[in-house]
Amino acid sequence: MRALLKQTDFLFFWTARFVATLAVQIQAVTIGWQVYTLARETGHDEGQGAFLLGMVGLAQFIPLFFLALTAGETADRHDRKAIMTAAIGVDILCAGGLGLLAWSGHTALWPIFAIAVLFGAGRAFLSPASSAMGPMLVPRPLLPRAIAWNSLSWQSASIIGPALGGLLCAISPAVAFGASAGLFLLGGLCLLGIRQSTKPAVQPGSRWTLIKEGLVYTWRNKIVFGSISLDLFAVLLGGATALLPVFARDVLHVGAEGFGVLRAAPAVGATLVAVVLASQQIRRRAGLLMFGAVAVFGAATVVFGLSQWMWLSVAALAVLGGADMVSVYIRQTLVQLVTPDPMRGRVAAVSGLFISASNELGEFESGVAARFLGPVGAAVFGGVGALVVTGAWAKMFPELRKADRLE
């Protein structure tokens, strides 16, 4: 821990990620609540509102899908700090635009979806640059611990952000979006404090050659491909958190404040686990632990979907978050350790595309499922699906299942 604290540039990076993630969480909570509330207030029923909520995720995923590979190649060719700074600038514009719409009392949904597309484009470049830059700022022996602390940063912000976002939504969505813009600005200023060079060694070849090289490496390395594809399909199916506005308003009847608590619950469990992982690294049987964690994730999703009590729903979400933290930590560590630095941007882009598919496209899947199965049926269906995927991937990727030490 002391050795990591001596890495000043990493501390600036860590702080920037924390405040930027806090801003993302506040903005995500507010967009979801605003879209669902406007949908219900303009005459849409519960199923239609859930479908529109899922469309927000699809709007963010479309630009990610088309830009991710180009963004990864860009992160392997240009200054990664400059890319992150520019992407955060886009986030500031998005938060400002959403705040202006909320302040003016605009009730149309299409401008929110348009800004969500722009937000997704910014994230397409932010994710691979951020993932590739972190390992440049610490010595390789400190990399597993740095990954754990990066996860702790993200999860801590994910606790504070949703709860704060729910409280700010109760005051005014405009206030929530304004707070998000201010935090994005602070994150950008922290990046300016990084003095170490963050420009990778330029790789020879055309843009398409580099993109193809990254895709081939990801496909052939079964640990990398197995890890990110497991996350894709498990979270794509088990993304119950996308339906939390529906559960808060129409299933559990707990309002905006309760929505903030529900949204924070997964991060509470994840942060507790991240604290343990930051001090006690996983020594053996990493692959089996990851598969077990994904199975627990699916089971907790089923419990949440069936729950009719706020306390049980919060507990199930906390367990879900803790299990997901174990999976994320092992997956990120394995991918970072086996990927050479000149290729980290491209591999991170493919990984980011899979993660975005599981999150944003998962929101769309959850919205569509809720339209036909109802929110409870959609959550249960997703949890069972995650369990099925876990078993299938354990059989299909024996190299990943047998992965032992994270070193």
Report the mean per-residue pLDDT for the chain.
Answer: 80
The pLDDT value recorded for residue 325 is 81
Residue 294 pLDDT: 86
Residue 364: the pLDDT is 66
Cβ atoms within 10 Å of 211's Cβ, excluding its own: 19
CA 127 vs CA 43, 97, 351: distances in Å: 37, 22, 9
Instruction: Specify the pLDDT at position 332.
Output: 73
Q: What is the pLDDT along the chain (407 residues), one digit of tens a residue?
A: 566 767 788 889 989 988 988 898 888 878 888 888 888 777 777 777 777 877 777 787 788 778 877 877 787 778 888 999 999 999 999 999 999 988 887 778 889 889 988 988 888 888 778 877 877 787 777 777 777 677 667 767 766 777 788 778 878 888 999 999 999 999 999 999 888 877 776 666 666 676 677 777 777 777 777 777 777 777 666 667 777 888 887 888 887 778 878 877 887 888 788 778 767 777 778 778 888 888 898 899 899 988 889 999 999 999 988 888 888 777 777 777 667 766 766 776 666 666 655 566 666 667 777 777 788 888 888 888 888 888 888 888 887 777 766 66
Exposure letters 141-174 (e unless 16+ CB within 10 A, then b):
ebbbbbbbbbbbbbbbbbbbbbbbbbbbbbeebb
What is the C-alpha to C-alpha distance for residues 216 and 109, in angstroms, rounded to an integer? 40
Token pair for 116: 């969500």
Instruction: Determine if the pTM surpasses 0.85.
Output: no
What does the pLDDT read at residue 124? 80
Q: What is the pLDDT of residue 191?
A: 92
Q: Which three-class secondary structure string do you get for the chain?
A: CHHHHCCHHHHHHHHHHHHHHHHHHHHHHHHHHHHHHHHHHCCCCHHHHHHHHHHHHHHHHHHHHHHHHHHHHHHCCCCHHHHHHHHHHHHHHHHHHHHHHHHHCCCCCHHHHHHHHHHHHHHHHHHHHHHHHHHHHCCHHHHHHHHHHHHHHHHHHHHHHHHHHHHHHHHCHHHHHHHHHHHHHHHHHHHHCCCCCCCCCCCCCCHHHHHHHHHHHHHHCHHHHHHHHHHHHHHHHHCHHHHHHHHHHHHCCCHHHHHHHHHHHHHHHHHHHHHHHHHCCCCCCHHHHHHHHHHHHHHHHHHHHHCCCHHHHHHHHHHHHHHHHHHHHHHHHHHHHHCCHHHHHHHHHHHHHHHHHHHHHHHHHHHHHHHHHHHHHHHHHHHHHHHHHHHHHHHHCHHHHCCCCCC
For the four alpha carbons of 357, 245, 157 and 239, in that order, the dihedral sign comes to negative
pLDDT at 17: 85
CATH superfamily of 2-194+203-401: MFS general substrate transporter like domains (1.20.1250.20)
Q: What is the predicted pLDDT for the residue at 303?
A: 92
Residue 30's nearest CA partner among 159, 156, 183, 174 is: 174
**pLDDT, position 354:** 67
